[in-house]
Structure formats: C-alpha cells, structure tokens
Amino acid sequence: MAQKMTMALFSGSVDKLTAAGVILSGAAADDMDVDIYVLLMGARAFKKENIGEQGSMAELPHLKDEFFASLERLKVNTWVQFFKEAKEMTNVKIHICGLAGKIWGGEKLEDFNELADDICGIGEYITSAQEADVHLFI
C-alpha cells in the first residue's frame, strides 16, 4: 500500500509554490498518493487567469528577479510544470477549498486551471490530514 501525503497549500507566492512543486515531485518519485488542499492565497494562483503570473514572493521579495534568473539558468521547472509532471507520475489530487475559491471569484471547477480536480469543504482536508503518513502545511 502506497504511503499518503496530505499537503495544505496556503500560500500563493511563487517561492512557496515552487517549493511545494519540488516536494510534490519527490513524493511522486517515491510513488506516494498525494492530496493537495489549496487554501486561501493558494487558490488565487490556481485561477485560470493567474496561471502564468509570476506573482509575489513571500520570502525576500526584493530578490524576486534573482530568484527567477536562477531558476531559468538552472532550467528548473515552473511550479505548474512540477505539479503537471507529478500528476502524470502518481496519484495526485488537487482540491480547491470552496471558501478560498469564492474569495477569489471561483465558484465552479471551470474557474480554475486544469490541475484542479474538485472543490471541497475544509472537513475533507481535516480528514485527509488525520489519515496521512506525511502532512505538510505550506
């Protein structure tokens, strides 16, 4: 039986989304089942119209240009690419919190990019976190 990881993705900043993508990639390579619950600011990043946006950085925002230049120089995937590749490798489900979606004007699954699998309530996240072998809050 595969191990299960539950990730709460609270942040919509590009540095933390990239970190989540790297972690997700490692979990996928380890063939873990992964449930990602996209909360508050994270939901904004998953809106269709925001998918290509470079957004803000939560940590050291004055180094944003250097961060992106380093990612490009090192040929590091974007956070979206990390997420897409992980979904192709293993059982990854991305759940948008219903309240978070509404805050950003997303009430239907179609309002979010193709990475999103469903919209759910916070109770599903709590249950998933309780059942997970690994639980992360980013």
Can you give the residue ranges of every domain in the chain? 4-137
Assess contact for 80 and 48: CB atoms under 8 A. Answer: no
60: left (phi over 0), alpha (psi -120 to 50) or beta: left
* DSSP element (H, E) containing 18: helix 14-29
pLDDT digits (tens, 9 = 90+) for 48-95: 998 777 777 777 888 888 988 999 999 999 999 999 999 999 999 999
| DSSP-based three-state secondary structure for 109 | helix
> CA nearest 98: which of 128, 122, 129, 126?
122
Statement: residue 5 has pLDDT above 80:
yes
Q: What is the pLDDT of residue 56?
A: 78
- % of the chain beyond a pLDDT of 90: 86
- Top CATH class of 4-137 equals alpha beta
Q: What is the pLDDT of residue 60?
A: 82
Q: What is the pLDDT of residue 55?
A: 75
Assess contact for 135 and 32: CB atoms under 8 A. Answer: no
Distance CA 44, CA 101 (A): 7
Residue 59 identity:
E
